[in-house]
Structure formats: C-alpha cells, structure tokens
Amino acid sequence: MKNIPIILMGCGGVGRQLLQHIVSCRTLHANKGIHLRVVGVCDSKMFLVTPDVLSTEFDDAFLMDICKTKFDRLSLEQCIDSGKCEASSYAESKRKLADIAARIGYVLVDCSASSETIEVITQTLNLGCCAVLANKKPLTCSMEEFDKLFLQPRRIRHESTVGAGLPIITSLNRITSSGDEVASIIGSLSGTLGYVMSEVENGKPFSEVVKAAKDLGYTEPDPRDDLSGMDVARKGLILARLLGQRIDMNTIKIESLYPNNMGPSMMTLEDFLANGLPLLDNDIQEKVKKASLNEKVLRYVCILQNSMCMIGIHEVPKDSALGRLKGSDNVVEIYSRCYEKPLVIQGAGAGNDTTAAGVLADIIDLQDQFP
Amino acid sequence: MKNIPIILMGCGGVGRQLLQHIVSCRTLHANKGIHLRVVGVCDSKMFLVTPDVLSTEFDDAFLMDICKTKFDRLSLEQCIDSGKCEASSYAESKRKLADIAARIGYVLVDCSASSETIEVITQTLNLGCCAVLANKKPLTCSMEEFDKLFLQPRRIRHESTVGAGLPIITSLNRITSSGDEVASIIGSLSGTLGYVMSEVENGKPFSEVVKAAKDLGYTEPDPRDDLSGMDVARKGLILARLLGQRIDMNTIKIESLYPNNMGPSMMTLEDFLANGLPLLDNDIQEKVKKASLNEKVLRYVCILQNSMCMIGIHEVPKDSALGRLKGSDNVVEIYSRCYEKPLVIQGAGAGNDTTAAGVLADIIDLQDQFP
C-alpha cells in the first residue's frame, strides 16, 4: 500500500470538502493501492499535527470533527484533543513543517485564500516535498517567487486554481509538453460573469441581472468583487505564465465592469446596487446590440495571445463554444498547431465539491513521488 | 538530465510523426530536464536496436532516415547500418526486449495497428518497464489480458487510443480517482461519422455524403470500415473498461450503418458505392426528419450508461454540444455527480500530428518512473 501523508492548510469550504472526499474514497483508493494519511491541518490560527507523523494519522472520526467545527465557523482550537493531536499556533507552522519534512515526505495542500502561504509552500518544495494548490494567490505573486515554485515542476499541482476541477491545466501541460504551439487561449473563467453576460444577451438590464445573480448566491457578498475582473485576471495570469509569459498582475489589461468612481472606497454596497449599477445599463445594452448586428455576443473573457493577457468584454461569434455558453459554466478554447479549430473544455468551473475533487485528483497524480 | 529510453513499435503514419516530434522537441524537453533517447524501432518485419542500449541511441539523422524510409513505404531493412544499429527479425522481438529490460528501464511505444503486440507489452510491463499505446487493439482483447496490462496502472498510458490527442482518458482518470461517480458518457468518437451525420442533417443524401467523405480522404479506403462502427466500438470498449465495466467486444451492441447483405464478403466496394449505398438514403432521411420534429439531430455515438455500452445512431438535442457538432471534430460529454451539466471535451480527434502529440505527452507524463 502506497502511503501519502497530507497536511492541509485552510479548512473552509474547499478544504472541508476535501477531507470529506478523502474519507469517502477510502475503499476506492485502497483498491488502487493508495492510502491518504492526513497528518496535519491548519487554519489561520492553529496548526494541529498528529503526535507521531511517521506512524499515526488523524482518524476519520477526528477528520469529521474538524469538518463540523469549520462548518460551524469555529477555530481549530475547538478540536484540540491531547490524545489525537499536538497543537501549535499558525505562526509556528514554518518551523513545524521543517521538522515534519525532516522525517517524512508529505503533500502540502493549500485550500486557503491567503497570499501568505507562499513561504511555506516554497519551503516545502525546497525540502523535497510536494504541494497541491486550490489557492490562486501564491501563483499570482511576483515572477521571481513564481519561478521558485516551479524549480521542481513535477512536485507541484494546481488544477483547481483555474476552472475548479475542469481539466484545463492538465490539458495545457500535455499540449505544451508535446511541442504543440499554443497560438491563443480564450476563455470564460468566471461562472458569475458568464451568467451575467448570457443573461444581458437576452435583453435583461445589466443591473437587474447582477442583482438576481447576487440573490441566487452566484456573486461574492459585494458583487463588485466579481465585476472588477480581478478573480478572472488571477486565472488569466496563471494560464499566461504556464504558456511561458513572464508577466505580473500589473501588466495585465483588466476591464472592470464598473467605473472607479463606483468602487468600494467611493460608494457603499447599498448605494452601488440602488444608484450606481443602473447607470451602467445603457452602455452594456448598446454593446449587446452592436455585437448582435454582427452575429456576435458579448462575453467577459480572458484572452491570451501574442505574449499578451487581456481581461474584459469581448465580442465572440454566436455559434462558437463561447458564444453558445449559457448559465454559469466555464469554457476554454485553446488554439494551437494541432487545434486550428479549438480544443474546447467546458463545464462547471466553481463549487466546493468540484474544486475539492480537482485537488484530490492532483494529490493522487503525485503518487509516483512517494515510495 | 532525466533520460528516457524509448522503443517504438510501428513506424507508419503516427510512429513516423512521433519520431519527428521527438527530434523537433529536443530543446523544449532539454529545458524541462528530459532527454528522450530512442534506442530501438521495429516494424512488422525488422527490429533495429542501438548497439549499446546503455550508452548509445539513434541519432537524429538516423531517425530522419527511418522516417523517410517508412514514408516511402519501404521496410526498416533499408535502414540497416552496421555502425548505427543491430538488426534482428520481428519474430525475435520478445527475446530482444527481455535482454534490454534486463539492462535498462524503457518505454515501449505501440503505434502499430496490430493485435499481436499485446504479448510484448505485457512482457514489458511485467519486467518493470513502461508502455504507451496509440494502438487500440491490445486494450480491446479479452478482459483477462486487459487486466494483465493494468496490474501496474501507473506504468501504462494510452490517451491517443480515444479521440487522438484530446485529453479524454486523462480527464476520465482524474474524475474517477477523485471519487466523482460517472453516471454516463456520450460521445461522437469518429471524425468520419461525425462529418457524415452533420452533413445528412442538412438534407444531403447519405450516399452522396459518404462518397464525398471518401473523396475528401476522411474515410478508410473501403468506407464500410468506418460505417460498420467497429472503430467506434473499440473506443467505447476502452472507455467502458476504464469505468470498471467488465465487458468484451462481443457484449457491445453495435449498430452498423449498412446491412449484412452489403458487407465486404457479399458485395464489392464498387458495387456497394454504386448500388448498395443509395438504397440506404431513404431510411436515414426518414430518421433525420423524425428527429428534427423533436428539435433533435442524429449523431453516431457511443453511449456508456448503467453498465451498458451501445454504439449507434442516437437522437440528441439540437442545442447540446453533441447536437451542435459540425465537421469532423470529436466531442465527449461526461455526466457525473460534479458534472450534472456535462463536462464537455471537443476538438480534432484524428490525424497523425495530433495522435503523435498525445503519445508524446503520455511519454513525458511517465517521467517520474525514470531515475
């Protein structure tokens, strides 16, 4: 039986779902000769480690306790059980991880949303261990820090940073390693903005569509977090860097769907929804009409082409995979020598279940790094 | 530099293209710390091996000689060069491979179309080496023989056996290893039949579409080889077995697009094209019309559901990924817990360039098996 020790950072939605997946897949993985052994978990405050990382692990009951605690939005402090774990503060995690790496190889799984995890991820990789990321932030830091993460590219996986569990990064890595030259990528990488753009196409006012999306729980609590395009830009930057573009967040042209004077520092959320948002309706409606005259529709996309990365509204042919997109699916079109007509990957690109499934597939894909 | 020794079986279209890809990707792979070292090639007659598999390899000039020879439809015998290789007959390949495996680990790459390679592939895997297949035949043998190939599933790859380079098998393996339960798969896995079905949808007679496809070089020399559905059935069987179905070719329900009395043993190709094929027009046209009344279109698909595998004409919604398919693209819709709306993968599913690219990506993906 191959034994893969796991240390999880971030036990919110995705991390919690991952623990549940690990527990429910025990038989499946045993049949493949794999045992996933969770030896540590941490949130922003606490780091819990099994007393002896070489021979013990958190049992399934304890993992389910952790899930319940985090579901109740409590700290891991609640889970401290002297028989089952040793607790230290999150601040000590760097030293603790070094201790563990000296004893066993492990996979550090980052399901947090923090930009601070990059330090322990880099340390983990430098110490010969592996990392799996659902967290986009460490991959959208400076180019210098990004390079450090990929010094040993076979020991890091991050499928769930773009399109949740959709096999976008896996596919892109296969294409580039086969020497096929990617000419361009165009993708709708935000389920929220995909929904918004396909609804305004049907004639509904932008402001009403955004408010409906908020009510459906499709947007962040403040929809401007989606409308700014920053989340799409992070995904675009990750794809761009995989294609070899040496760029930073500040090099990317990002079109925000609201003007600066409606930003969170200028306008409250209530004011934005009631008075700001409706002012944007006409402009969007004009663009929808103009596109329609050319048999095109508007999509909020990421475009990678000619060493450029652009994020914003774009007219796409009505009968392309992007143009036919409905609802909150993600879609990516990859154009290359082999795919003059694009390789299209489409499906649900968000959700804890799907994202955690992508993380778990990444962990399993690292199995050859373990004896 | 990681060194991956390769032995290629079958140097026809795909194999030849693979050798060209390997040569043209030298710098790309060197930058990733990988050197692909071709130490042997064989066709149905000859097996050429480098004089010392431990330290020598076929140089790029020799590999290009092989490509040219096979392009000219000559035997590898023409390439025998006492300074560069040792030649033996294909019949000796089993013994030769055992000798090589005793000295180095290698990847056996099967780009042939033979059902006989299964013996040396199984031997290769049993001896601790790796295999990459573009050849479907070894995977569509008996369940017993199939099981032997997957005793060490990490050492065998076969993406190019379904949909050429499209990341279908990679994606399916990721989904199943994450514990996501696949409910069904429906796919158009023949570029030829995809083209035929989308053309008859536009009102053209079936017989004319098939003849046009033949003239365009989309079909096999005898189009009945495509119309029989056997090639799609092989792909369907491979996907079914990946999902855990323990079935054989003779368990699959295959709908042929021509009746038994028009088969190759009953009718010459000329007679079939001139007199047989037109008799089938009415029936297909009726089906097209019937489907159209329900906002559906006909596709020749593989359906995997409830432990069943069916191959044949099926009505699909006009506005689904399958229904919108045009031309010779392949498309696969995967339905699962995470993908209630399907995960869709679409793109070119044939061609030597794309197929060889998929094989090369598989080889690179095996790199962790090499020291």
The reply to whether residue B365 touches residue A174, judged by beta carbons under 8 angstroms, is yes
Q: Which residues pair with B334 in a beta bridge?
A: B185, B343
Q: Name the architecture of domain B2-165+353-369.
A: 3-Layer(aba) Sandwich (3.40)
Mean pLDDT along residues A229-254: 95
Its ipTM equals: 0.95
CA distance A347 to B333: 10
Largest CA distance in chain A: 69
CA distance B348 to B355: 10
Given a cut of 90, whether residue B279 has pLDDT beyond it is: yes
Chain A residue numbers touching B28 (CB-CB < 8 A): 177, 179
**Which residues 6+ apart lie within 8 Å of B191 measured at CB?**
B218, B328, B329, B330, B348, B349, B350
The reply to whether residue A346 touches residue B321, judged by beta carbons under 8 angstroms, is yes
**Which residues 6+ apart lie within 8 Å of A72 measured at CB?**
none
Count of A-B CB contacts under 8 Å? 144
The reply to whether residue B353 touches residue A338, judged by beta carbons under 8 angstroms, is yes
Q: Is B235 a catalytic residue?
A: yes
Pick the closest to residue B59 from B42, B37, B34, B28 (CA basis): B37
Mutate to test the interface with A, among B23, B166, B169, B174 (most CBs of A within 10 A): B174
Chain A residue numbers touching B24 (CB-CB < 8 A): 179
Residues of chain A within CATH 3.40.50.720 domain(s) are 2-165+353-369
CA distance A274 to B242: 53
Å between B245 CA and nearest CA of chain A? 15
Least confident range of A279-293, A337-351, B78-92, B174-188: B78-92
CA angle B126, B132, B136 (to 5 degrees): 100
| CATH, domain B174-348, list 3.90.1150.10, 3.40.50.300, 3.30.360.10, 3.40.109.40 | 3.30.360.10
For residue A318, give the DSSP letter.
T
Residues of chain B within CATH 3.30.360.10 domain(s) are 174-348
CA distance B153 to A2: 13
Least confident range of A49-58, A89-98, B75-84, B242-251: B75-84
Mean pLDDT along residues A190-212: 94
Structure tokens belonging to residue B238: 């491979």
Q: Cβ-count burial of A187 within 10 angstroms (0-12 exposed, 13-18 middle, 19+ buried)? A: buried
Which alpha helices (H) appear in B246-351, and where do they start and end? 269-271, 281-293
Which alpha helices (H) appear in chain A, and where do they start and end? 13-24, 26-31, 60-71, 93-103, 118-126, 143-149, 168-177, 191-200, 206-215, 224-227, 230-242, 269-271, 281-293, 352-365
Mutate to test the interface with B, among A177, A326, A345 (most CBs of B within 10 A): A177
Given a cut of 80, whether residue A41 has pLDDT beyond it is: yes
Å between A347 CA and nearest CA of chain B? 4
Å between A218 CA and nearest CA of chain B? 17
> Among residues A70, A214, A235, A296, which one is catalytic?
A235
**How high is the pLDDT of residue B83?**
82
User: What amino acid is encoded at B88 in this protein?
Assistant: S
**How high is the pLDDT of residue A82?**
75
| Banded model confidence at residue B203, pLDDT cuts 50, 70, 90 | confident
**End-to-end CA distance of chain B, in Å?**
10
* B15 labelled binding-site residue: yes
Chain B residue numbers touching A170 (CB-CB < 8 A): 167, 170-171, 174
CA distance A16 to A333: 32
Structure tokens belonging to residue B128: 């601790």
Given a cut of 90, whether residue A15 has pLDDT beyond it is: yes
**How high is the pLDDT of residue A315?**
96
Q: Which residues pair with B258 in a beta bridge?
A: none
* B286 labelled binding-site residue: no
CA distance A369 to A155: 7
Residue in B179, B357, B369 closest to A180 by CB = B357
Mutate to test the interface with B, among A22, A170, A174, A359 (most CBs of B within 10 A): A174
Å between B329 CA and nearest CA of chain A? 8
Chain A residue numbers touching B345 (CB-CB < 8 A): 167, 343-345
Average pLDDT, chain A: 95
**How high is the pLDDT of residue A371?**
87
Mean pLDDT along residues B322-326: 92
> Among residues B235, B253, B289, B341, which one is catalytic?
B235
